[in-house]
Amino acid sequence: MFLCLSGATVIDSLDTLYLMELKEEFQEAKAWVEESFHLNVSGEASLFEVNIRYIGGLLSAFYLTGEEVFRIKAIRLGEKLLPAFNTPTGIPKGVVSFKSGSWGWATAGSSSILAEFGSLHLEFLHLTELSGNQVFAEKVRNIRKVLRKIEKPFGLYPNFLSPVSGNWVQHHVSVGGLGDSFYEYLIKSWLMSGKTDMEAKNMYYEALEAIETYLLNVSPGGLTYIAEWRGGILDHKMGHLACFSGGMIALGAEDAKEEKRAHYRELAAQITKTCHESYARSDTKLGPEAFWFNSGREAVATQLSESYYILRPEVVESYMYLWRQTHDPIYREWGWEVVLVSLGEILSDRSRFLRDPGCVQ
C-alpha cells in the first residue's frame, strides 16, 4: 500500500496518542515526523491509503495541537499527490508513482475504485483551507461533478470507473469493500461543512434510497442485511467492511426528511444487530471477513477464504455510533464483549508463545 513511504502507523496513531494523553509516545512520534518523515522517495503507493492515513493523520494532529510541522507536512504530501488527477476525466488513478522527483500516476490497472477516489473530499478541502491553494478543493469537486453527470444504474454507484472514458467498467455495487467509504464521506462532508454542502447531502440520501430499494433484504430469520449487486443479480452476503453502514445510517438519520428519521434509526439498529449476530454465531465470537444468507444459514461465513478476522473496526464503530445516539446499554455490552474476547485471544497467544516460541509466526 505504501511501499516507498515509511511510518504509516506512527502518523496514523498521532491523534490517538494525543487523545489518550500518552504524552511521551506522542512527543516521540512528533519527533519522528519532524526528523525522519521524508518525501524525497522513489516508488509507488496507494493514493487512497496515503490520503486517509498520512494526510488524515497529519491534519488531525495539527488540529489537536496547532503544531506547524503537521500542517506543513500534510500540505507538502498533498502537493505530491496532485499529478494522480492528471487523467482525461480528472478521476485519479489509484496508484501514485514517485520516481526521481517526477510524481504521477502509475499505469497499472485500467479502472479507479469508487471507495478510493470517492474518499478524498474531507482531507482535500482542509488542505485548501490550510494552504490557501484552491487546487485541492477543485480536484475533489470535479470528482463529484463527474459522478453527478454519469448515468447510474437504478441510482446505484458501481465500484469501478474508467479514469480515461468516465464510464463504469463493470456493474458491481457494494456498500462493503470497494464502495464503502464513498458513502461515508458524503454524509460526513455534509456535517463537516456546517450543513451547507447540499450536494453532498443530496447525493447521500439519493444513494441511500437506491441502496434500500435494490440491495436491502431481510432474511427468513429476520436479519436485515445489505446485499451486493452484480448487474442485477444479488449476492446475499455482507462483508465486515459493510458493517460500518449501521453507524453511518444512524449518523445521517437526524438530517433526513422528518418522516424518514425514525425509519433510518431503526434501520441502523437492525443492520448493527445483524453484524453483531455475525460475531455471536462464530466459534471465536469475532466476526468473519464476510458472512452469507443462503442455504438456510444466516450471518455466518460459508467459505474458508472468508473465515478470518483482521482487527477490522467497522462493527464496533457502529456500536459506538448507536450508543451515542440512543444510549441503549446493549451497544456498550456488545463492545465490551469484543474487548474481552480479543483480550482472551491475546493472552492465549502469549501463553502458547511462552510454552513454545516457535509456534507464533
Q: Convert the pLDDT of each residue in 199-218 to its tens digit.
A: 999 999 999 999 999 999 99
Q: Would you state the pLDDT for residue 360?
A: 43
Task: pLDDT band for 295, please (50, 70, 90 cuts).
Answer: confident
Q: Would you state the pLDDT for residue 40?
A: 86
pTM for this entry: 0.93
Residue 48 one-letter amino acid: F
Q: Would you state the pLDDT for residue 361?
A: 41
Q: Would you state the pLDDT for residue 175?
A: 98
Residue 357 has pLDDT above 80, yes or no: no
Q: Would you state the pLDDT for residue 6?
A: 92
So what CATH class is 1-170?
Answer: mainly alpha
Task: pLDDT band for 153, please (50, 70, 90 cuts).
Answer: very high
The DSSP line for 305-341 is: GG-------HHHHHHHHHHHHH--THHHHHHHHHHHH
What is the per-residue pLDDT across 100-150, written as a single tens digit (0 to 9) for each?
444 444 444 589 999 999 999 999 999 999 999 999 999 999 999 999 999
Please list the active-site residues: 49, 180, 289, 314
* Residue 275 near residue 315, CB atoms below 8 Å: yes
Q: Would you state the pLDDT for residue 106?
A: 42
Domains 1-170 and 198-360 share a fold: yes
Lowest mean pLDDT among 2-6, 175-179, 235-239, 282-286: 2-6
CA distances from residue 124 to 128, 161, 195 in whole angstroms, order as listed:
6, 21, 18
Residue 57 has pLDDT above 90, yes or no: yes
Residue 184 has pLDDT above 70, yes or no: yes
Helix ranges, 158-291 (H): 180-192, 198-214, 245-253, 258-280
Q: What is the mean pLDDT of residues 87-95?
A: 95
Average pLDDT over all residues of the chain: 93
Helices 121-131 + 68-81 axis angle, to 10:
120
Residue 171 half-sphere exposure toward CB, CA atoms < 13 A: 12
So what CATH class is 198-360?
Answer: mainly alpha
Q: What is the mean pLDDT of residues 66-83?
A: 96
CA distances from residue 12 to 61, 69, 142 in whole angstroms, order as listed:
9, 15, 27
Q: Would you state the pLDDT for residue 30?
A: 98
Q: What is the mean pLDDT of residues 315-323?
A: 98
Which residue ranges make up each domain of the chain?
Answer: 1-170, 198-360
